[in-house]
Amino acid sequence: MGGWVVSGLVFGSILALGALGCSYILLMQNYFNFTAAPLLALGAYIGWTIMRVLPEWGGLELIIAAIVSMVTLGIIMTATDKAFQKPLRDRGAPFMFYYLTSFGLLFVIRSTIWLIWGPQAKYYYPGSSVGIAAPWGIMVKPAEIITLILAVVVVAVLYFFQYHTKLGRGMLATSQNSMLASVCGVEPETIHTTTTMIAGSVTALAGILYGLNIQIRPLMGMYILAGIFVCVVCGGEGAILGTLAAGYLVGIAQEVGSGLIQIPLDFFGIPIQMSAYKMAITSVLFIVVIYLKRGGVWKGTFLER
Amino acid sequence: MLKEEEMILESDKITAGYGGVDVLFDASIKIKEKGIIAIIGPNGAGKTTLLRTISGVLSPRKGEIIFKGEKLNGKTPRERLALGIGYIPQDDKIFPKMSCIDNLRMGAYTLPREKFSEILEKAYQLFPILKEKRNQIAGQLSGGQRQMLAIARALMVEPEILLLDEPTSGLQPSLVKEVLERVKELHYQGMTILIVAQNREALEIAERAYLIRAGQVVLEDTVEGLLDNNQVIKLYFGG
Amino acid sequence: MTYIISIICISSSYAIVALGLNLQWGYTGIFNIGVAAFFAVGAYTSAILTGPKWGGMIGGFGLPYLVGLVGAVLFAALLAYFIAFILRLSWGLLAIGSIMLSDVVILIFKNEMWLTNGVWGIGGIPRPFGEMMSASTSDWVYMIISLAILIGAYFLLEKGVRSPWGRTLMIIKEDPILAEMAGKDVYRWSRMSWIIGCMYMGLGGAVYGHYIGYINPRSFDNVMITFLSLCMVVVGGSGNNKGSILGAYVLWVTWTGTEILTSYLPAAWQLRAPYIRVLAIGVAIILFLRFRPHGLIGREVAVSKMGEKIKKVRVE
């Protein structure tokens, strides 16, 4: 059971990072960024490619690869935003156009990934890794520890940035009252650039951690999109801490839930493997959340910050 | 060489609107330095639109805004702020989820960090209630407190002209008086004021006024002149 | 020649879908990214009702073509009603919810062997009068039938849009607050438009299924179908029925065109061909949105004039 909780937290960390990327875009640019799915994968693939070029430095190569990937993805996301979404903003286009462009980019990036890297699954460190003993007799893998720590670190950094730097406050102001923010001297495009840089890097990290813990596949982003959406909604649409908390909750719900359901299944000899349906649990959760949200009862706001 | 009345702000035949539909046509107004001008008129007449073009939030389709001799077309709100234009909108005048002090911090966004604390003290002197409520979330303030906060926020950069869009709407009479007192105080200290007014008290603190109706400036006079005009009184202030 | 017939039949199917989508988006302002689900429901319903039985599935009713179409439309309407119930048509929820729910629907089609024969699909979906003629003649006949259905659907929609019903929808789209004040229940009207639009998508799916003759869950790539359909509407010009039909044809021709082009690639590249095509169309669409967002025909004049009038009223 403890193992499930750990897996849940790990998976939840990944979800939360992906969700932060989408939340930023949702809050500042008003659309749900479907392109996050292939971008996540792209981050993973770029990291993988870089690692193949670097020698084994006892883990340092992963860090370098991660940093390069995050920066690259931030730049890619900013570039595509300026090239394709900014003109829509300037025109005051209806929101469907943002979605269509996001979809178009989704296809472009997805196909590019296929063309460059092909469909086989890839791994950062081929071969299974050995677990480390942790309290309560739970076995934790190094990858899991890294994930948990990194997620918390990133969230802490973002939180500090958001609430204690001028630019971060400018972003908050823009999201609450963009007109007044511009009157105060906040430059809208600077805010957008910051948003896309953050969203891109966070998404890349999510991809890398996903690849580290599970595997790298072209469609990896699509698998967790439902989970990401749930986190975005439950996290209070932009509340940084809330999104992390939501990630943990969803992750645990998924792992523990499927684990618990497996018990009666095994008991009755029903040959269904819940592990294959884990994602389905998230989808069900998603439907429940949507249904509750429209009624105004949702757990998002308990951590408004 | 100073002219007899040095115009600090002029709008020259401004035509502006939203989504392809114009609501303001050829609006021309002038304000002299350190003057206090009111703009009155019925709802939807275009008063807010005019203020928006001056502050830079809205681009006019035709016409020019001239401030201290400089043409403003194409300048961002940030640039206009730097020139000395302060704007307090009618709706959306504060950042509702931020504390009061954070709201004021936003007002000082373009200032270096060191200046913030001294300007903050000045704001607290003018509006002591804001010091008391400094950590309270702005959205929870009462209408009158919100208005004070909005004005204080604009004052953080020590502008030369303040554009106030209906600062007393929705306030109870005692608060209306209080807000207008502060505005008058600011005027005595040398600030130019442009105030959009919907009630008589606001009109009365001004020297001159423009009447805008259906997007056009239809009347311009001293405030005494306007108040003598029975038509105006009846139409816009219900006696 | 069969190429041309194929293009016409499939484009017509998609055109019907595009009409439905245009009703939802262009005329009522509802954003639907779950198009594929309704398309699939339509195709499968009609197939189950009219086609033979395979594996352990229900079916083999062998009902006539028309019944298949009606069934398709009805089930699409049912699903539409259900989704409207859950999502309450709030645009944000709908935008994301519709894609997730349609994923679930297609997943069901994939997994439920008893209903749809799962991944094996349903083959041998009959053409109307199919037994009576040879394969090639049947192609011709079907082309005419699909065009007829398209034209019928088009005129039905056009009449609807120009009637008082259509004008109400316009007002609801342009200015929901005004509509509410005028006493129109915005939600009910939007839902009506939503359901009818989805019915069109189901119809399109059925027409498609009967042409292709064999469907399986893989032929309904959720994102691709939805994306293509949305692009058809945008390319043609939203708020414009003729545009939607034009968009459907243009896009489908382009899509199959890329297939022909990539077939000229050296053999080593053939495996990658589908991805190159998707890449190309993705780029094309993004560029189109960037540089020519009004579509080929642009917003219908009557529709935009009405929009202008409403805006004027609102400002005063």
pTM of the model: 0.82
Any chains having at least 3 CB pairs less than 8 A from chain C are: A, B
DSSP string, C129-185: TGGGS-HHHHHHHHHHHHHHHHHHHHHHHHHHHHSHHHHHHHHHHH-HHHHHHTT--
d(CA B217, CA B215): 7
CB burial readout B94-117, b (16+ within 10 A) else e: bbebbbbbbbbbbbbbebeeeebe
Residue B87: its chain A contacts at CB < 8 A? Answer: 183
Confidence of residue C301 (pLDDT cuts 50, 70, 90): very low
Residues 6 or more apart whose Cβ sits within 8 Å of residue A127: none
State mean pLDDT over A72-95: 88
Question: How far B70 CA sits from the closest chain C CA (Å)?
Answer: 32
Q: How many residues does chain C have?
A: 316
Q: Which residue of C has its CA nearest to A113?
A: C275
CA angle A138, A141, A142 (to 5 degrees): 130
Residues in chain A with CB shorter than 8 Å from the CB of B97 are 172, 176, 304
User: pLDDT tens, C114-125?
Assistant: 666 666 677 767
Binary contact (C293, A97; C-beta < 8 A):
yes
Of A170, A177, A183, the CB nearest to B87: A183
> To the nearest whole angstrom, how far is the Cα of A109 from the nearest Cα of chain B?
34
For A107-157, where are the E strands, in sequence order?
132-134, 138-140
Say which of A92, A170, A179 has its CB closest to residue B57: A179
Determine contact: C275 vs chain A, CB below 8 A.
yes
- The answer to whether residue B238 scores a pLDDT higher than 50 is no
**pLDDT of A206:** 94
Put simply, the answer to whether A226 touches C100 (Cβ < 8 Å) is yes
Residue B80: pLDDT over 90:
yes
Interface test with A, best of C25, C33, C85, C96 (most A CBs within 10 A): C96
What is the per-residue pLDDT across A65-74, written as a single tens digit (0 to 9) for each?
999 999 999 9
d(CA B167, CA B144) in angstroms, rounded, equals: 9
Q: Which of B56, B76, B92 sits opposite A180 (nearest CB)?
A: B92
Q: What is the per-residue pLDDT for C118?
A: 66
pLDDT at B214 over 90: no
Chain C: residue whose CA lies nearest to B44: C316
Distance CA C198, CA C132 (A): 33
Q: For chain B, how long is the longest CA-to-CA vector? A: 53
* Count, residues in chain A: 305
pLDDT surpasses 70 at A291: no
Helix axes A2-29, A188-213, angle to 10 degrees: 160
> CB C315 to CB B21 under 8 A?
yes
**Tokens of residue B81, six digits:** 């702020």
C187, C89 in Cβ contact below 8 A? yes
> Would an 8 Å CB–CB cutoff place C132 in contact with chain A?
no
Task: Say if the Cβ atoms of C278 and A107 lie within 8 Å.
Answer: yes
Answer for the pair C315, B44: CB distance below 8 angstroms, yes or no. Answer: yes
Taking alpha carbons only, the member of B156, B129, B158, B165 closest to residue B145 is B129
Asked if the model's pLDDT at residue B168 lies above 60, the reply is: yes
Compute the distance between CA of residue A44 and CA of residue A223 in angstroms, rounded to an integer. Answer: 14
Map residue A269 onto helix, strand or coil. Answer: coil
Tens digit of each residue's pLDDT (9 = 90 or more) over A153-211: 999 999 999 888 999 999 999 988 989 999 999 999 999 999 999 999 999 999 999 98
Is residue A301 predicted with pLDDT exceeding 50?
A: no
Alpha-carbon distance of B193 to B36, in angstroms, equals 5
The rounded distance, in Å, linking the Cα atoms of C201 and C214 is 18
Closest Cβ–Cβ partner in B78, B87, B106 for A173:
B106
Give the separation between CA B129 and CA B126, rounded to whole angstroms: 9
CB contact under 8 A, A84 and C286: yes
Q: What is the dihedral of CA A287, A291, A297, A298, to 10 degrees?
A: 20
Residue that the structure tokens 């296809």 belong to:
A107
pLDDT digits (tens, 9 = 90+) for B128-143: 989 988 899 998 999 8
User: Which of chain B's residues have a Cβ under 8 Å away from the Cβ of C315?
Assistant: 17-18, 21, 23, 44
Q: Which residues of A touch B (CB under 8 A)?
A: 92, 166, 169-170, 172-173, 176-177, 179-187, 304
Average pLDDT, stretch C297-315? 52
> How far is Cα C8 from Cα C31, in angstroms, rounded to an integer?
27
Q: A290: which chain C residues are within 8 Å (Cβ-Cβ)?
A: 86-87, 93, 97
Whether the per-residue pLDDT at A249 is higher than 60: the answer is yes
Answer yes or no: do C290 and A100 touch at CB < 8 A.
no
